[in-house]
Structure 1
């Protein structure tokens, strides 16, 4: 697992609505530092970081990051001729 993902996961779940702006900005910066696409292992670890609410939209950024793994799998299946490109 790449260090950027390890750092994000080590900080635990996203904070909830009462977090201060500095804490939210720090988590956004950590997410932005993670190169895409993520691996399957990284996606599984990142899933544990969803918090009790959407953290002012940061949870959506986390979701989209996790989805890059799915897109990577799809692209590999297309490139391997296993599924047609839609």
Structure 2
């Protein structure tokens, strides 16, 4: 059932773009929220979750999961529309 819903979401033109953008935006908001204490201490280039406070690590990982899910939907959408394009 979940696979069918995903396939319908990929095929629905205006809805799939909106869902992809919302996933990217929510992931970016989660990452910004998780790294806000680092930005306040003027640490702009930290990698990994080691420097992030333990209370905000869940938002950090959730942000990357949402961005990955948005990228997967984006790839599926590109594959779907490239298969529909006529061959020269």
Instruction: Give the structure-1-normalised TM-score.
Output: 0.39
By relative contact order (CA 8 Å, sep 6+), the higher-ranking structure is 2
Larger % of helix: which? 2
Instruction: Give the structure-2-normalised TM-score.
Output: 0.39
